[in-house]
Structure 1
Amino acid sequence: MGRARGGLAGLLTATAISQVGNVVALVALPWFVLETTGSAARTGLTAFATTVPLAAGAIGAGPLVDRLGPRRTAVLADLGAACAIGAIPLAHAAGRLHFGLLLALAFAAGAFEAPGRTARRSLLPALAVQSGTSLERANAVATVTEHLGYLIGAPLAGVLIGVVGAAGSLWLDAGSYAVSALITITTVAVAGARAGRPPVLAGLRFVRSSPIIRTFFVIWTAGAFLVTPLSAVLLPVYARERFGGAAALAAMVTALGAGGLIGALAFSVAARRLPRRPAFLTMWIVYPLLTCLLIGLPPIVPALLVLAAIGVVTGGYDPLEVTIHQENTPEELRPQVFAVLLAAEMTAVPLAMLTYGLLIDVAGLRAATALYAAGNVLLGAYAITARPARRLDRPRTSTSFTA
């Protein structure tokens, strides 16, 4: 039991450390592009180059995890991402970093991240069961580590940008991937390739055949298009145009992370007693209303309060949704189903980055923020009215699938 708990703790620690580095990059990379080019469109294009390979990588991630095993895949993915991210400040220091090379390295980093995410998501349910931890609690703790990354990484990025510059700050992201790989190697029990791997398209067939997974597939994908550009495109431009500095951007991302941490902690405490359907409804009513408050581009203090509140709702919702994915997916299909979900998410994200970046250049920040809010209102209406999502509290009798 102690070793099993160590495996779960190791996986969560590795994820947390890499997340801190990712948040530093989330602040530093768009700021570097805005600082050197002054273009919101190029900022969106850089985010596009970082995320679009995740979609392609995720398509093959399920079979890859089946073949190599989730532990080995997670380690190799972390090491590959460390090399790609580390090459950015290295090329910058050598005076060789032009915009095309930056896009190529960002693309390479994203290509390694997809198999790593799929592998870690596949490892978590088994490690939770082995350690005697409920899925709700394990997913809530995983969400806590994600938002701790925002809480620690965002102010750290503001300091690092001021001290070593935006490009130099990316060394932390590269190092965090390397440390994550080391922790995974030394703490997570070996999980090799399984015999009798399911067919390549089994995950896609299961998503299509399961009403509840299909419904959450829509929410997951549309949510990725609508939510991700907030911190990656909207907030950098918001901070630059209205408040004039990286410190404001770091404060905004920190507010999101702090709110998310509070929401995830609250869910981890109340998860076993929380009635799912009422919680689901409350989250999808409150969250869209909060996004509407950003349309007016409020001053820094009200903006931070709204962003913190958005973080609270999303921090509580994320582990609930992931738990539903896990509970309703057969264990043998989890790598492939999670890869399908990740592929859909990462197809939506780069398109959103380009859309929002171009919209800001053409119509302005306020118009892009209005699109963000309107889309979330429509998504909330779909989530509330979707019939399969009305049965969240019904006990699940079995999960079976025939490929």
Structure 2
Amino acid sequence: MTENLSRRPLTGLLVAQLVSVLGTSMSALAIPWLVLTSTGSATRTGLIAFAELAPYVAMQALGGPLVDRIGARRAYVLGNAAAAVAVCAIPALHAISLLPLGALAGLVAVAGAVRGIADCAGQVLVPGTAVLGAVPLERAAGLHGSANQAGLLVGASAAGVMVSVLAASAVVLVDGITFALAAVLVALLVPAAAQPRRSRRRLSTRRYVADLAEGVRFIRADRLMLVLVTMIAVTNLLEQGINAVLVPVWVRERLHQPQALGLVAGALGAGALIGALIAAWLGPRLPRRVVFTVGVLIAGAPVSLVLAWTSTLPPALTAAFVAGLANGGLNPILHAVLYERIPPQLRARTLGAVKASAWIGTPIGPLLAGSLIEATGLRGTLLTFAMVFLVATAVPVMLPVMRHMNRTPRPQPDGTRAADNEDASR
């Protein structure tokens, strides 16, 4: 196999991920817009958005044992194909006036659940396609993150333009087509050799719970992974509070220009995309621990500090872009470490447990931010978030266990790893 052919599976997966995330981000705007324009009810719009998001998050976290049995490649293909059917059914039923709210909620819930399984499978396929193409894990993870960021940026922008010139149902149809295209790309370009060996054990309820618990135990037994997962959970909580509450309140109180919300979000997203691309290019040549330490310190507290002490847009946009740039470079390192430390046969269930841990605090962030604003005001809340962010990022990176980020443990046949003193640093 030539070098170009050997890298075709990774290329196919990246393009499929870009297309699938395009559909996901378009759905996040087009489906709520369809409900809002059809019913005029903000409450019903929120219910439909929740009906789609909750199963998506749940199945990303809980779908690992299913992916183990189905196989990552098949799970990705079937998940996106099922999402295409469910999403395309929405405009079809809407066109013949057979789409009550309950049916719409059921369809988006099915689409969210199967896309959650597909995205869980996609994470599992990244290291396998990287190995087939002889691509360093940092580069493969960086390119995968770049595909996600590009899909989010382009999809949201495209959906915003399309709903202004087309019927919302037509945009939803385009969403469904993107999922079908993602399924076809992986089916044609990603071989079964890219996935870990499928589990042959029958999946009973007891076995399912045991498999999920095995992923959690693996994280708890690995000190480096435990530190990283804990830090991610805390920083995600803080980031959700900042993005969902503190930035909108800052825009309302300091700028009085609602369009600034989109500009800040765009600066953050653009920085994250560029950061992921830079990490994909330079990541294999750089010391992971140094880059990660600098990145987490820049991506966290500075945004809150800048917002606390400025009332103009340019400093906020600069801080958001720099934070996004730093944050975009972190995920490739994190995923490379996870791919190296988790044995192939445990990746689906362990990555699912990592996902669940990372998301566990996100609903609390906005509640915490809102409560603190009522108690201490906007500036006091921003400074509090900055201080907590600094502690949550500075303390972990100073722990001795973090030196193992630069190592490459070898999975053993029994699922354990070689001793951490085996030096495979880059």
Band the TM-score falls in, shorter-chain normalisation? 0.7 to 0.9
Picking from 59, 62, 76, the partner of 1:74 is 76
1:398 alignment partner, SS class: coil
Which residue of 2 is the match for residue 214 of structure 1?
226
Picking from 125, 134, 153, the partner of 2:127 is 125
Letter in 2 for 1:76: L
Q: How does 1:1-80 map to 2 (within 5 A)?
A: 1=1, 2-28=4-30, 36-37=40-41, 48-80=50-82
Q: How does 1:45-194 map to 2 (within 5 A)?
A: 48-89=50-91, 103-164=105-166, 168-191=170-193, 194=198
Structure 2 vs 1, CA of residues 402 and 267 (structure 1 numbering), >3 Å: closer, same or farther? Answer: closer
Which fold has the larger relative contact order, with Cα–Cα distance below 8 Å and residues 6 or more apart in sequence?
1
Letter in 1 for 2:294: T
Structure 2 vs 1, CA of residues 381 and 165 (structure 1 numbering), >3 Å: closer, same or farther? Answer: farther
Which residue of 1 is the match for residue 321 of structure 2?
308
Picking from 342, 346, 351, the partner of 1:329 is 342
Structure 2 vs 1, CA of residues 373 and 100 (structure 1 numbering), >3 Å: closer, same or farther? Answer: farther
Matched, 1:277 2:289: yes
Letter in 1 for 2:219: V
Number of residue pairs matched by the alignment:
397
Q: TM-score scaled to structure 1, two decimals?
A: 0.82
CA contact (8 A) 1:284 1:383 kept: no
Q: How does 1:252-263 map to 2 (within 5 A)?
A: 252-263=264-275
Q: How does 1:362-401 map to 2 (within 5 A)?
A: 366=378, 370=382, 373=386, 376-393=389-406, 395-400=407-412
Which residue of 2 is the match for residue 224 of structure 1?
236
Give the Å deviation of 1:367.
8.4
Structure 1 spans left out of the alignment, 5+ residues: none
CA contact (8 A) 1:30 1:236 kept: no
Q: Distance in 2 between matches of 1:67 and 1:110?
A: 20
Letter in 2 for 1:335: A
Of residues 229-238 and 300-309 in structure 1, the stretch that sits farther from structure 2 once superposed is 229-238
CA contact (8 A) 1:44 1:356 kept: no
CA contact (8 A) 2:69 2:199 kept: no
CA contact (8 A) 1:44 1:358 kept: no
Give the Å deviation of 1:37.
4.6
Which of these two proteins has the greater Rg computed from alpha carbons?
Answer: 2
Q: How does 1:287-302 map to 2 (within 5 A)?
A: 287-292=299-304, 293-295=306-308, 298-302=311-315
2:269 alignment partner, SS class: helix
Structure 2 spans left out of the alignment, 5+ residues: 202-206, 417-426
Q: Distance in 1 between matches of 2:186 and 2:145?
A: 18
1:272 alignment partner, SS class: helix
Letter in 1 for 2:257: F
CA contact (8 A) 1:45 1:353 kept: no
Q: TM-score scaled to structure 2, two decimals?
A: 0.78
Q: Distance in 2 between matches of 1:169 and 1:161?
A: 7
Matched, 1:340 2:353: yes
Give the Å deviation of 1:284.
1.8
Give the Å deviation of 1:298.
4.9
Give the Å deviation of 1:215.
1.5
CA contact (8 A) 2:244 2:366 kept: no
Q: Distance in 2 between matches of 1:83 and 1:368?
A: 49
Give the Å deviation of 1:31.
6.5
Q: Deviations over 1:105-132 (max 9, x none)?
A: 4433321122112211111111111111
Structure 2 vs 1, CA of residues 54 and 286 (structure 1 numbering), >3 Å: closer, same or farther? Answer: same
Q: Distance in 2 between matches of 1:93 and 1:374?
A: 53
1:78 alignment partner, SS class: helix
CA contact (8 A) 1:74 1:120 kept: yes
Give the Å deviation of 1:228.
4.8
Give the Å deviation of 1:288.
1.7
Matched, 1:243 2:241: no
